[in-house]
Amino acid sequence: MLLRLLRKSLIKRKSRVGIAIISVIMGIAMVSALLIISLQVEEKVGDELSKFGPNLVVLPQTESIEVSVGDVELGSVSEQQYIEEQDVVRIEELKYSKNVRGIRGIAPYLFAVVEVNEVSNVIMAGTWFDQVRNINTWWSVEGEWIEDRNDTKKSIIGITVAEKLNLNIGDLYNIKYSSFIKMEDGNSTYFEVDYTFEVTGILTAGSDDDNRIFVNLDILQTITSKEDKVSMIQVTALCNKCSTDVIAAEIEGKLPNVEAKTVKQVADTQMQVLDKIESMMLLISIIALLASALGVMTTMTTSVVERKKEIGMMKAIGAEDRKVASLFLSEALIISIIGGILGFIIGVFIAQYIGESVFQSSISPNYIVFPMVLGISIGVTIASSIIPIRRALKIEPAEVLRSI
């Protein structure tokens, strides 16, 4: 009966209900667009940001790292010259920080100077390729990337190295690593390691990286007997209310033995613009939702006033408050569901438009947004129906039925 009653009453008052639905649609469309964009923002901006490479570099606190000194023995090789590999995990925890919107990549590097094919000294870098790929998106690798962090044979060599040593994809080459290792008794012992790698990829980076050889972090740590040690960590973090410096400070606070340097400030400006766009959209959404609420409230109030006699009669013949309220609540529910669905569809288009004009790329709707906005739609509509419904419940049947 309730459904029948609702259907008839909604059809009868099409235009009023239509206005309420339209006001819900407008608000929900804005909110949908905002949510769709925010959910994709990390990715979109991350992509933009990656064009600039890492924005943070984490170094051990001491100045001298092996890279800059070559294979010259250092008098006192202190542990502090390296960062512990487990610090990567600590840095990853930053993603829960309120200053950080998201982390695109964290790539640890261990550098060592090796002699290749007994002729040339080259800097060899051990790293995680899956992370490097996220950070140095412009790297162009001919051949194949190294997908498995545990691979011990593959290497990607910089184009300059390839040319100088006349190495091609598929070639094997020997490296020799020599160093002093500090023994437990305090003395240092000289040791040498020979190893063979295969060229699986040739890198063109347009930077110093072209002069390097890249292998998995693990194998280089083993070769150099520097288990769990890294020389440097590159981080691409998206900041919130941006200043990357804040994140740098946070890293230093977390890890006392490191120095975090901000590299690129370009991205900060980008993120700031994004923050502004987002807060503007949030504001617009709130205003749009308020307008929706007002629209629904007005429609519902008009509906109650118009149907005063009807409500009075219902109460006179014994309708409980619960049943009278459910009549209007169901009406609100229907309005909110229709408005929510249509609003979401329109929101997808708005998001698309904004995506194209702001990011110059299309935005694919994230369907998680749908249940979210439907919830918002139902919540706002029901909430704004409460006052009109209370008004309906206050109607005195004797009074309204008396007046002709």
Partner 1 sequence: MSKVVIKSENLTKVFDNNTRALNGINLTISKGEWVTIMGPSGSGKTTLLNILGGLDKPSNGTVFVDGKDITKLNSRLLTKYRRENIGFIFQQFHLVPYLNAVENVMLAQYFHSIALEQDAEEVLERVGLKERLTHLPTQMSGGEQQRVAVARAIANEPEILLADEPTGNLDQTNGKVVLDLLESLHKEGHTIVMITHDINIAKRSQRIIKLIDGKIYSDKSTRVKSKNPDKKILKNISKKIGG
Chain residues binding partner 1 by CB under 8 A are: 1-2, 4-5, 8-9, 11-12, 309-310, 312-321, 323, 397-398, 401-402, 404
* Smallest distance from partner 1 to CB 323, Å: 6
- The nearer residue to partner 1, 201 or 397, going by C-beta atoms, is 397
Minimal distance in Å, beta carbon 404 to partner 1? 6
Q: Which of 188, 195, 53 is nearest to 112 (CA)?
A: 195
The tokens of 367 are what?
Answer: 């369907």
The letter for the amino acid at 316 is A
* Of 14, 16, 1, nearest in space to 327 by CA: 1
Which C-beta is closer to partner 1: that of 154 or that of 315? Answer: 315
Report, in Å, the least distance between residue 397 CB and partner 1.
Answer: 6
Nearer to partner 1, 8 or 51 (CB): 8
**Closer CB to partner 1, 9 or 257, in the complex:** 9
Q: Give whichever of 4 and 98 is closer to partner 1, judged by the CB atom.
A: 4
Burial of 295 (0-12, 13-18, 19+ CB in 10 A): buried
Cβ nearer to partner 1, comparing 183 with 404: 404
Q: Could you tell me the two tokens for 97?
A: 């920080």
Q: Residue 237 corresponds to which tokens in the numbers above?
A: 């973090």
Kindly state the tokens that stand for 167: 């190495």
Closer to partner 1 by CB, 183 or 398: give it. 398
Please tell me the chain's helix, strand, coil percentages from 3-state DSSP, rounded to the nearest 5. 55, 20, 25
Q: How far is the CB of 310 from partner 1 (least distance, A)?
A: 6
The DSSP letter of residue 255 is: -
Residues 6+ apart with CB under 8 A from 11: none
CB of 305 to partner 1, least distance (A): 16
Instruction: Please spell the DSSP secondary structure of 44-61, one letter per residue.
Output: HHHHHHHTT--SEEEEES
Nearest residue to 109 (alpha-carbon basis) of 130, 132, 90: 132
Comparison of 6 and 77: residue with beta carbon closer to partner 1: 6
Q: How far is the CB of 311 from partner 1 (least distance, A)?
A: 10
- Could you tell me the smallest distance in angstroms from the CB atom of residue 300 to partner 1? 17
Q: Please report how close the Cβ of residue 321 comes to partner 1 at its closest, in angstroms.
A: 8
Distance CA 83, CA 44 (A): 31
Q: Dihedral sign, CA of 45, 48, 52, 54?
A: positive
- Identify whether the C-beta of residue 55 lies closer than 8 Å to the C-beta of residue 243: no
Shortest Å, Cβ 324 to partner 1: 9
Q: In which region does residue 377 sit, left (phi positive, over 0), alpha (psi from -120 to 50) or beta (all else)?
A: alpha
Helices 321-354 and 266-306 cross at an angle (nearest 10°) of 150
